[in-house]
Structure 1
Amino acid sequence: MKKLSYLFIALFSLSLMTTSCREQKTTEDKIEGAVDDVGDAIDDAADDVEDAVD
């Protein structure tokens, strides 16, 4: 039982050391991404309207 608990502790410690932290996005980056998404959506809608008119 001791060996199993030591193995668990060792694997848990290894997983903590090898897991990297994600890069945190700032509010500015989130807003910029949202603006880009809205711009892309507007372009797609304009293309759909243009295709419907033709």
Structure 2
Amino acid sequence: MMWQYGIKIFITVVLVVAVSEISRRSSFWGAIVASLPITSLLAFNGSTLALAILKSW
């Protein structure tokens, strides 16, 4: 269970850094990356997140 939170935190950090770096170059593309559905999936609990990721493949 603890590893699920670790993965969730890692994905969040990667998304925040990616949006920050992309927004430096283009605010439009930064907004597009920030609005991707993956940010919504991070709000779910671990089992729902895993299920949603598997369904998106």
Which one has more relative contact order, counting CA pairs under 8 Å at least 6 apart? 2
Q: Give the TM bin, normalised by the shorter chain.
A: 0.3 to 0.5
TM-score where L is the length of structure 2: 0.44
- What is the TM-score when the length of structure 1 is the normalising length? 0.46
